[in-house]
Amino acid sequence: MSLDRRFQILLDDERYQRLVQAARARGTSVAAVIRDAIDETLAVDLERKQRAADELLAAEPMRVPDAVEELKAQIRDARG
């Protein structure tokens, strides 16, 4: 992996200290902690969204009630 992009971010002291503590605990740099956080957060979101989209596309169509009262009745029935 080539690290060829640089950016500047402003943090309050509390966030910065949390990064420093995490970096020390992992034996790595603050920058590595930030890169890991980006990878974990964005990768999970993309994978989760793709799985949800796949499930929706594969799902059987369902009838949606026209009237609000009918929908409320179905919800009450489903809850028992």
Question: In angstroms, rounded to a whole number, what is the distance separating the alpha carbons of residues 55 and 52?
Answer: 5
Instruction: Provide the pLDDT confidence category of residue 65 given band limits of 50, 70 and 90.
Output: confident
In order of 64, 71, 73, the CA distances from 78 in angstroms are 14, 11, 9
Question: In angstroms, rounded to a whole number, what is the distance separating the alpha carbons of residues 39 and 24?
Answer: 19
Mean pLDDT of 48-56: 87
Whether residue 12 has pLDDT greater than 90 = yes
pLDDT computed for residue 48 by the predictor: 83
Report which residue type is found at 78: A
Encode pLDDT of 26-38 as tens digits. 999 999 999 999 8
Domain ranges of the chain: 13-79
Mean pLDDT of 1-11: 90
Mean pLDDT of 20-48: 90
